[in-house]
Amino acid sequence: GKVVLLQFTASWCGVCRKEMPYLEKDVWQAYRDKGLLLYGVDRDEPVEVVKKFAKDIKVSYPLALDPGAEIFARFAHKNAGVTRNVLIDREGKIIFLTRLFDEKEFAALLSILAKQF
Tally the C-alpha atoms within 13 A of residue 33's C-alpha that lie toward its C-beta.
4
CATH code (residue 70): 3.40.30.10
Residue 33 has pLDDT above 90, yes or no: yes
Sorted by sequence, the CB contacts under 8 Å of residue 9 that are 6+ apart come out as 16, 20, 40, 41, 42, 43, 63, 82, 83
Q: The pTM is what?
A: 0.95
pLDDT in tens, 62-74: 999 999 999 999 9
Residue 62's domain comprises 4-115
Residue 107 has pLDDT above 90, yes or no: yes
If you average pLDDT over residues 20-44, what whole number do you get? 98
Give 83's pLDDT tier (boundaries 50, 70, 90). Answer: confident
User: Angle at which helices 47-57 and 14-22 pack, to 10 degrees?
Assistant: 50
Taking a C-beta distance cutoff of 8 angstroms, is the pair 4, 90 a contact? no
Total domain count for the chain? 1
Amino acid at 21: P
If you average pLDDT over residues 40-61, what whole number do you get? 97
